[in-house]
């Protein structure tokens, strides 16, 4: 892989920001960085043979995110976990099966795969309904590679980074020197090792006050400082977070992400 471009398609918590019916300062802010769709990312990794296009999670905003940020091709989908705000847009992958008509590989840990088969059995178990989105589900517990659906022989290696989200096992993902961990409140020693030498880290940072399943900014900052990436960006923020105000308080090298933020990372 020679280089990688990552676009953050959404950086908000499960309700999105603004929250329906809320008139707080953040929900009525005119700063576009305070407008947060549900978390998802689009990664285009360049190989010598051609680009590989990956989507991380398919939340409820996937369609408008794909249109807004030009998600033109998908070679594979990486699932972090099976909460609503990370999976429910799965049907919006359908247009990527119009051409080529091959199925899209989806990668998930056992718990997420089991849940997807339950909630979306018509896709992941039956799959015979006409015109259905064609997805192939792969349970993963170690590094795997994703090839192209668009006719070249390039591929990228993805390293799952296990973490905890309350009592749930979730996955972060590392691709080259880029890593993405949403919906986490604990990172194991093994996973810190997997994050060594990452240049750009995307990390869950929900808000300032404690939460049972997400990092606060203080907790996320401690993790970020230990990983010591060149740049860290927090995602999954609630409507208690005014971008301009909070971002100014974060230590050097750590910032709040915002929808549409695009990051470039050189290859290994
Ligand atoms: Zn979430
Ligand atoms: Zn979650």
Report whether pLDDT(107) > 80. yes
| Protein residues with C-beta less than 5 angstroms from the ion ligand 1 | 85, 183
pLDDT tens digits along 173-221? 999 999 999 999 999 999 999 999 999 999 999 999 999 999 999 999 9
Which domains, and CATH codes, for the chain? 3-259 (3.60.15.10)
pLDDT tens digits along 10-62? 999 999 999 999 999 999 999 999 999 999 999 999 999 999 999 999 999 99
Report CA 39 to chain centroid distance, whole Å: 6
User: 66 C-alpha to center of ligand 2: Å?
Assistant: 21
pTM, entire model: 0.97
Report whether pLDDT(268) > 80. no
> What was the pLDDT predicted at 125?
83
Report whether pLDDT(166) > 90. yes
Query: What DSSP state is assigned to residue 242?
Result: -
Peptide bond into 64 cis (omega under 30): no
Please, which residues bridge with residue 180 across strands? Answer: 173, 202
Structure tokens at 3: 């280089």
Give the whole-angstrom CA distance, residue 224 versus residue 233: 9
Average pLDDT over residues 164-172: 97
Q: Which ligand is nearest to the CA of 236?
A: 1
Q: Which ligand is nearest to the CA of 16?
A: 1
User: 236 C-alpha to center of ligand 2: Å?
Assistant: 9
Dihedral over Cα of 159, 73, 123, 64: its sign: positive
Give the whole-angstrom CA distance, residue 76 versus residue 50: 15
pLDDT band at 102 (very low <50, low <70, confident <90, very high): very high
pLDDT tens digits along 113-141? 999 999 999 898 877 777 888 999 999 99
Give the whole-angstrom CA distance, residue 57 versus residue 37: 13
Average pLDDT over residues 218-244: 98
Q: Which ligand is nearest to the CA of 168?
A: 2
User: 15 C-alpha to center of ligand 2: Å?
Assistant: 11
Report whether pLDDT(81) > 70. yes
> What was the pLDDT predicted at 108?
98
> What was the pLDDT predicted at 155?
98
H or E element that contains 135: strand 135-139
> What was the pLDDT predicted at 132?
84
């Amino acid at each position: 892989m020679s280089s990688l471009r990552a676009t953050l398609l959404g950086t908000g918590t499960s309700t999105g920001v603004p929250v329906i019916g809320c008139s707080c300062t953040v929900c009525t802010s005119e700063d576009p960085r305070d407008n947060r769709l549900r978390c998802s990312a689009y990664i285009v990794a360049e190989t010598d043979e051609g680009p590989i296009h990956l989507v991380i999670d398919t939340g409820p905003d996937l369609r408008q995110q794909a249109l807004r940020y030009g998600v033109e091709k998908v070679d594979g989908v990486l699932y972090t976990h099976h909460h609503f705000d990370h999976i429910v847009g799965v049907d919006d992958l359908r247009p990527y099966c119009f051409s080529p008509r091959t199925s899209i590989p989806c990668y998930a840990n056992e718990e997420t795969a089991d849940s997807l088969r339950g909630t979306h059995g018509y896709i992941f178990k039956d799959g015979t309904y006409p015109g259905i989105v064609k997805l192939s589900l792969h349970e993963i517990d170690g590094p795997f590679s994703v090839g192209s659906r668009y006719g070249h022989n390039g591929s990228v290696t993805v390293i799952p980074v296990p973490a905890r989200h309350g009592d749930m096992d979730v996955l972060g993902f590392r691709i080259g020197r880029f890593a993405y961990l949403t919906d986490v409140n604990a990172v194991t020693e093994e996973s810190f090792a997997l994050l060594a030498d990452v240049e750009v880290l995307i990390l869950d940072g929900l808000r300032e006050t404690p939460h049972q399943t997400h990092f606060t900014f203080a907790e996320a900052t401690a993790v970020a400082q230990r990983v010591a990436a060149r740049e860290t960006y927090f995602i999954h923020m609630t409507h208690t977070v005014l971008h301009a105000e909070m971002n100014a308080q974060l230590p050097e090298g750590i910032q709040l992400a915002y929808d549409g933020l695009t990051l470039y990372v050189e290859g290994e």
